[in-house]
């Protein structure tokens, strides 16, 4: 099923399409990833990176929303108890959010570089899902 020659979506080389699947400027990654999945059925490299990019984007959005909800709940508990100590505890969730964003950014940069060089790099957990779904 793997074809290592030829073009991918929009007439791009496979490694260029795989790398562009991670560039989050003006929703470029969504357009490229959906285009790859819709039109390229034989090239594993761009399909893998397109699926992993979409899964990484979904993970970032879900993680961001969960952290913000946790911060909101802790802040409301702190306000209800009129305790600044509990409200300061919300800073812990901001720290978790910062570490989460940093980890996602590092994963995004490494995956983008590996995509442009034509290599498959599996991120933890979502990489195995992307590999399974790209076949």
Position 2 scores a pLDDT of 46
pTM for the model: 0.85
Query: How far apart (Å, rounded) are the C-alpha atoms in residues 14 and 1?
Result: 15
**Residue-level pLDDT at 40:** 84
Q: How crowded is residue 89: how many other Cβ atoms within 10 Å of its Cβ?
A: 15
CA distance 114 to 129: 18
List per-residue pLDDT tens for the chain, 135 residues long. 444 556 777 788 889 989 989 998 888 889 889 999 998 888 889 999 999 999 999 999 999 899 889 888 888 888 888 877 777 777 888 888 899 999 999 999 999 999 999 999 999 999 999 999 988
pLDDT at 128: 93
């Amino acid at each position: 099923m793997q074809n290592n020659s030829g073009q991918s979506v929009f007439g791009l080389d496979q490694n260029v399409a795989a790398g562009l699947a991670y560039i989050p400027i003006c929703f470029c990654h969504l357009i490229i990833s959906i285009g790859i999945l819709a039109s390229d059925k034989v090239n594993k490299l761009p399909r893998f990176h397109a699926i992993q990019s979409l899964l990484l984007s979904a993970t970032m959005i879900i993680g961001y929303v969960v952290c913000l909800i946790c911060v909101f709940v802790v802040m409301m508990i702190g306000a209800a108890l009129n305790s600044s100590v509990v409200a300061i505890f919300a800073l812990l969730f901001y720290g978790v959010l910062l570490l989460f964003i940093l980890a996602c950014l590092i994963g995004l940069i490494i995956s983008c570089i590996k995509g442009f060089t034509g290599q498959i790099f599996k991120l933890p957990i979502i990489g195995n899902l992307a590999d399974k779904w790209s076949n």
